[in-house]
Amino acid sequence: MYVTFDLYGTLVDWMYSIGGFIRTHVGETADEFFTCEFTAIQGPFKPYRDVLKECLRKVMEGRSLTYDEDLGDALVLSFAKSPPFPDTINALIKARKLGLRIGIISNTERRLVEITLSGIRHLVDSVVTAEDIGVYKPSTEAFRKALNILGVGVEDVIHVSAYLNYDIEPASRLGIRTIYVNRYGKPGRGIEIGNLTELPRALSIMLSGYGR
């Protein structure tokens, strides 16, 4: 039985890392950047580092600022160094103690994930990235391929995310049970928790009916 997680925005704070980078180098909030990112991953597949660089370039050019490749590389590394939320590590430890395997399904690249998980990689059993499967969430195909790599069916997974559009909605359409972490104050549906301190209890409740 797996509990799988979205990584960036759910377990680690990419809004902190990208938001700070954009404010420093562009002088704006990162709203336009995140809109660009969500649009770009629904187009033809390209490596995630290229998605990040493309959106930074578009945001800068829209403000008559000069983009260069060094700045793009710096954004990619800053993104990869996104810090865990304060509730993340304990939640992963508690989930493992429930006898669950921990998986990550991420819209990124394996090298970037390994940087992000440095020091806590031992808490995660399996990682599946868009690099591995050639498709991005919110495509349902991303979840189908990820579960195939993990070797489990939809009935043997609970997926956890702070994003309705990237994760909760497409996973639910496939019949995957989900837990929505409402980190950003957007009303959801189904099982919803305010943060990951509530995750062990939510998992215990869902597991109590598992296999019946």
User: What are the pLDDT digits (tens) for 177-193?
Assistant: 999 999 999 998 889 99
- What pLDDT does residue 210 have? 59
> 209 Cβ partners below 8 Å, 6+ apart?
none
**Is residue 212's pLDDT more than 60?**
no
Q: CATH 1.10.150 region(s) of the chain?
A: 14-80
Strand order in the sheet with 101-106: 126-129, 101-106, 2-5, 157-161, 177-181, 192-193
Instruction: Yes or no: say if 87 and 13 are a contact pair by the CB < 8 Å rule.
Output: no
Could you tell me the two tokens for 147? 């579960």
Q: Which of 107, 208, 93 is nearest to 158 (CA)?
A: 208
Q: Sign of the C-alpha dihedral, residues 203, 206, 207, 210?
A: negative
Question: How much is the pTM?
Answer: 0.95
Average confidence score pLDDT of the chain: 96
SS (H, E, C) 26-77: CCCCCHHHHHHHHHHCCCCCCCHHHHHHHHHHHHHHCCCCCCCHHHHHHHHH
**Is residue 175's pLDDT more than 70?**
yes
Question: What would the pLDDT profile of 76-123 be if each residue is shown by its tens digit?
Answer: 999 999 999 999 999 999 999 999 999 999 999 999 999 999 999 999
Residues in the chain: 212
**Is residue 209's pLDDT more than 90?**
no
Instruction: Yes or no: say if 37 and 30 are a contact pair by the CB < 8 Å rule.
Output: no
**Is residue 74's pLDDT more than 70?**
yes
Q: CATH 3.40.50.1000 region(s) of the chain?
A: 2-13+83-207
Q: What is the CATH number of domain 14-80?
A: 1.10.150
Distance of alpha carbon 201 from alpha carbon 93, whole angstroms: 13
Could you tell me the two tokens for 196? 């990951």
- What pLDDT does residue 190 have? 86
Distance of alpha carbon 140 from alpha carbon 196, whole angstroms: 25
Question: What would the pLDDT profile of 27-64 be if each residue is shown by its tens digit?
Answer: 989 999 999 999 999 999 999 999 999 999 999 999 99
Domain topology for 2-13+83-207:
Rossmann fold (3.40.50)
How far, in Å, are 5, 54, 73, 92, 147 from residue 97 at the CA level?
16, 41, 38, 9, 22
Question: What would the pLDDT profile of 138-167 be if each residue is shown by its tens digit?
Answer: 999 999 999 999 999 999 999 999 999 999
